[in-house]
Amino acid sequence: MKTPVVLNTSVVGHRGACAYAPENTMASFIKAAQLGVKWVEFDVMQAKCGEVVVFHDDTLDRTSNGQGDLRSYSYSYLCLLDAGSWFDPVFSGERIPTLLAVIEFLQNMQMSANIEIKAFPGKEESLVKCTLEKMSAYLSSSNDFFIFSSFSIQALQFLRQYSPDCQIGMLLHEWEPDWQEICQSINCVSVHVNHEIMTADMARKIKGMGKLLLCYTVNDVSRAEELYSWGVDAVFSDVPDQIIKASTVSTEFCA
Ligand code: G3P
Ligand code: MG
């Protein structure tokens, strides 16, 4: 195992800084950098041609001017879509970025990434293999800049199969049966939990397993503070600057 991940933050920018710029676009990652965010989360999917792209929904409709299933189109088409105007006309030039374009930007900014694997059912192996291949140069030199996560157990298992060294986070929307055994068997470094199901007892249990604990998606400062008081290491937020600022103020106040 290479150097374990160091989570040098208590806030992860969700889909970049998606309250301020269209989610999962370069504008959103640039905004996160401008806000001083050290870690960002984003979602990856696979286009018809195999290209790994940064996008959240199965369909294009909500966050672009395209229509229908993302997987029906090659990147030569997807890259022409407007992925910004739905958010605000000022972002009309935004495109659906490739995984590599985002990773290159983050590396230049010395930022870290939680890459969430969103595979279409039955396509988990393909997306995991392509993602790891595209990132191989980065992973060999700086494994600790990245955590891969997924709601799909299959995707997590393929991640571990194809990369014995990569840092894996288990995503939980509900408390699934056997999640602890699966988490240990995959050797996850972290558990990423829907904050709405988090309790002080479960936080204690996860920290007792020696895992990093992250909660999504937290946009309320007082909820973030409650989660931190239970031992939660970091929260995913659409407004990372507001959570960072509040954390800094309360730390200064305590000192
Ligand atoms: O990775 C945390 C969070 O992003 C998971 O949910 O739907 O926002 O991708 P979602
Ligand atoms: Mg996500």
Cβ atoms of 231 and 204 closer than 8 Å: yes
Contact 213, 232 (CB under 8 A): yes
Considering only CA atoms, which of 193, 122, 112 is closest in space to residue 146? 112
Q: What is the pLDDT of residue 251?
A: 54
108's CB contacts (< 8 A; 6+ apart) are none
* pLDDT for position 58: 98
Cα gap 95→114, rounded to integer Å: 20
- Work out the number of other CB atoms within 10 angstroms of the CB of residue 140: 10
The rounded distance, in Å, linking the Cα atoms of 31 and 36 is 9
- Cβ-based burial of 68 (10 A; exposed 0-12, middle 13-18, buried ≥19): exposed
Q: Which 8-state DSSP code applies to residue 198?
A: -
Which alpha helices (DSSP H) does 85-220 contain, by range? 99-108, 124-134, 136-142, 153-162, 179-185, 200-208
pLDDT tens sequence across 54-73: 999 999 999 999 999 999 99
Pocket test for ligand 1, best of 216, 218, 235 (most atoms within 8 A of CB): 216
Architecture of domain 11-44+99-254: Alpha-Beta Barrel (3.20)
In one letter, which amino acid is 184?
Q
The ranges of the chain with pLDDT < 50 are 1-3, 254-255
Q: For 89, how many CA atoms within 13 A lie in the half-sphere containing its CB? A: 0
3-state percent helix, strand, coil for the chain, nearest multiple of 5:
40, 20, 40
Measured from CB, residues less than 6 Å from any atom of ligand 1 are 14, 41, 43, 56, 116, 149, 171, 192, 216, 236
What is the whole-number distance in angstroms between the Cα of residue 171 and the centre of ligand 2? 9
pLDDT at 250: 60
Distance (Å) from CA 216 to ligand 1 centroid = 7
| Residue 40 confidence (pLDDT) | 98
Ligand 1 atom 3: the closest Cα is on which residue? 216
Tell me the three state secondary structure of residue 11. strand
Per-domain boundaries in the chain:
11-44+99-254
- Would you name the residues annotated as active-site residues? 14, 56
Position 245 scores a pLDDT of 76
Question: What tokens were used for 239?
Answer: 């407004």
